[in-house]
């Protein structure tokens, strides 16, 4: 299954690369809730890459939703996106191959409304020497799931023509 457009969509291609990275990672770490707290180097790389792309795509989505909004950080993105697309907060990403269900944008009080995977990303990015353990499988999967959600809305809201390939 794929999204086909009349132009190359770099964000979608980047998502597909991250998804392929997860597929390779799953050969070594079973995607199971019992392993959600493991934190090998490859998971940290996926978390950091996915969160960086979420930052780029969220900014672009905010501009589509509200031109010249000036959103430039996760709190501003959240505010703009949830005003226009409140369902994002409860959007469920299902990964049937592993029997997983994630709600990546679910907000937690302990993170002041910012998803926990985003807080972990910042901790690992800026304090890797003491916070590397924050880059868990669960947070990486939620970061990639968050990216998928934002891409679906970006392409829908910006009227990028999409079609499903014929089999």
Mean pLDDT of the chain: 89
pLDDT band at 63 (very low <50, low <70, confident <90, very high): very high
| 61 pLDDT above the threshold of 70 | yes
Task: Give one DSSP letter per residue of 91-141, joined into a string.
Answer: --EEEGGGTEEE-TT---GGGTTS-HHHHHHHHHHH-HHHHGGG--HHHHH
Q: Which pLDDT belongs to residue 166?
A: 41
Q: Which pLDDT belongs to residue 106?
A: 85
Q: Which pLDDT belongs to residue 165?
A: 42
Contact 101, 123 (CB under 8 A): no
| 112 pLDDT above the threshold of 80 | no
Please write the tens of the pLDDT for every residue from 70-85.
999 999 999 999 999 9
């Amino acid at each position: 299954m794929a999204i086909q457009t009349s132009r190359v969509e770099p964000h979608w291609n980047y998502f597909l690369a991250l998804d392929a990275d997860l597929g390779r990672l799953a050969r070594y770490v079973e995607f199971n809730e019992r392993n959600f707290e493991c934190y090998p180097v490859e998971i940290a790389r996926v978390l950091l890459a996915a969160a960086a792309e979420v930052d780029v795509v969220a900014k672009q989505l905010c501009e589509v939703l509200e031109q010249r909004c000036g959103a430039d950080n996760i709190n501003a993105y959240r505010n703009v996106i949830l005003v226009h697309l409140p369902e994002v907060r409860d959007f469920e990403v299902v990964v049937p191959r592993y029997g997983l269900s994630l709600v990546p944008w679910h907000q937690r009080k302990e993170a002041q409304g910012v998803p926990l995977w985003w807080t972990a990303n910042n901790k690992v990015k800026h304090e890797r020497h003491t916070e590397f353990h924050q880059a868990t499988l669960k947070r990486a999967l939620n970061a990639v799931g968050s990216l998928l959600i934002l891409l679906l809305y970006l392409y829908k809201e910006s009227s990028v023509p999409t079609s499903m390939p014929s089999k």
